[in-house]
Amino acid sequence: GENVEQHPSTLSVQEGDSAVIKCTYSDSASNYFPWYKQELGKRPQLIIDIRSNVGEKKDQRIAVTLNKTAKHFSLHITETQPEDSAVYFCAASRGRDDKIIFGKGTRLHILP
């Protein structure tokens, strides 16, 4: 069945350094890949997304890359700040009318 694997489950980086979270997906028909940030006790919030016709997308300190051949995609956060501490979820979907399948999440700790 459809599955999204996410690694690592926990990541600690020094403030100012970069963080990378990697995901793989099993459904080759997936063509939409959103990333969500969930702070403790709060709702997941969409931070960036990428469609399959694009290999990379950047928004300020956040970037996502997609390799459709290998079926993996990654989130890159540069110049990390304390407010980046949260749980990050990758997800995959076939598109507008389809469900979104989430990974298990990565708990990111930004160390002072």
Tokens of 32: 């939409």
CB of 90 to other proteins, least distance (A): 9
Q: Which of 92, 79, 80, 81 is nearest to 36 (CA)?
A: 92
Nearest distance, CB of residue 91 and other proteins, angstroms: 8
45 or 81, CB closer to other proteins? 45
By CB atoms closer than 10 A (0-12, 13-18, 19+), residue 97 is exposed
* Residue numbers at the binding site for other proteins (CB under 8 A): 1, 6, 32, 34, 36, 42-46, 49, 51, 89, 93, 95-105
Task: For other proteins, give the closer residue by CB, 105 or 108.
Answer: 105
Q: Residue 48 is encoded by which pair of tokens?
A: 């960036």
